[in-house]
Amino acid sequence: MTVEYETIILEKINGVGKITLNRPDSLNALNYQCMLDLEAALADIREDGDTRCVVITGAGRAFCAGGDTKQMTDQHNWGAVQLKDYVRRFGTVGRDMWELEKPIIMAINGTAVGGGCNFALCGDILIASEKAKFAEFFVLRGLMPDFMGIYTLPKLVGLQKTKELCFTGDMIDAQEALKIGLVSKVTPHEELIPTAMALATRLATERPPLALGMTKMLLHKAIELDLRSILEYEAFGQGLLLQTEDHKEAVSALFEKRLPKFKGK
C-alpha cells in the first residue's frame, strides 16, 4: 500500500511503514505542509495495528536540509503568534514520534542539518549512510535549535559536545557521528535502505509489538524531565529569534551568497 501526500510518501511493506521525505529539489527542506503531512502519516501508522515499525528516509541526495529557506523569507512578515504556532508544529511532530509506541528507524541517506538533524534525532535507531553529514546549523542563521534538539541531543552526546555542535554549527561526517554516539551504525550508501528495512522487518515480524511499545515508552520516561515544558520554552525562544535582525540578515546573506554580518539585535 502506498499513500502519496504532498511532501512525503508513505509505503506499508510487511508490517513496516516507510516514510520518504519527497522534496528532493529542495533537499527535503521542511515547510509547514511537510509538518502536516508527517502528522497525518504518523497518525495513520499509530492507528494501524498491522504496521509495527517505521523507517524514515529522504528522496534524492539529502536526508533533510532543515527549515525551508524560501518559507523563512515569508516568515519575516509573520507575527509572534503565527511564528510560535509554526515552531510548535515542529515540536508536535517530534513529540508524536517520541510518543509513538512503535520503533522508528531513521535511514539517513545524506545531509541532515538544522531541523533535519534534529528531526532525525526524534527516531529510536539512527542508521547513517557513509555519505551522511550532520550539523546544528541554527546559529549560522541567527537561531537556536528547535525540533526537540535541545531535548534530544544532550541525551545522546552529552552536554559539552552538544554545546560545541550548537555554538559552532560545524558539520560532522558519518564516522564522527558514530564515534560520538549520534548514530548507532554506518553503512555503505547502497546498503542503507536494505539494512534499515531488514531491521525494521525483523522488529515488525519477529518481536512482540506491545513489548516494543512499552519498552520504548518506559525508556523515554526514564530520561524525561518535562518534555512539554521544554517545547514551550523552545517555541517561545525560537518565536522571538525569528523576529530578530540577525536572523533576517542570515537569510539575506544566504540568498546573496555572502557572509552575514550579525549585530546582536
Regarding predicted confidence, which is higher, 150 or 71?
A: 150
Global pTM? 0.86
Question: Per mean pLDDT, which range of 31-35, 134-138, 212-216, 222-226 is the poorest?
Answer: 222-226
Among all chains, which residue has been given the C-alpha cell 539494512? 195
Mean pLDDT computed over every residue of the chain: 91
The pLDDT of residue 72 is 62
Domain spans of the chain? 2-189
State the SS3 of the chain.
CEEECCCEEEEEECCEEEEEECCHHHCCCECHHHHHHHHHHHHHHHHCCCCCEEEEEECCCEEECCECHHHHHHHCCCCHHHHHHHHHHHHHHHHHHHHCCCCEEEEECCEEECHHHHHHHCCCEEEEECCCEEECHHHHHCCCCCCCHHHHHHHHHCHHHHHHHHHHCCCEEHHHHHHHCCCCEEECHHHHHHHHHHHHHHHHHHCCHHHHHHHHHHHHHHHCCCHHHHHHHHHHHHHHHCCCHHHHHHHHHHHHCCCCCCCCC
* Stretch among 50-54, 65-69, 207-211, 216-220 having the lowest mean pLDDT: 65-69
Q: Does domain 2-189 have CATH number 3.40.50.2300?
A: no
pLDDT tens column, 171-225:
999 999 999 999 999 999 999 999 999 999 999 998 989 889 988 988 888 777 6
User: Which whole number is the average pLDDT over 80-97?
Assistant: 83
Q: What is the pLDDT averaged over residues 23-34?
A: 94
Report which listed range, 33-42, 60-69, 89-98, 215-224, is most confident: 33-42
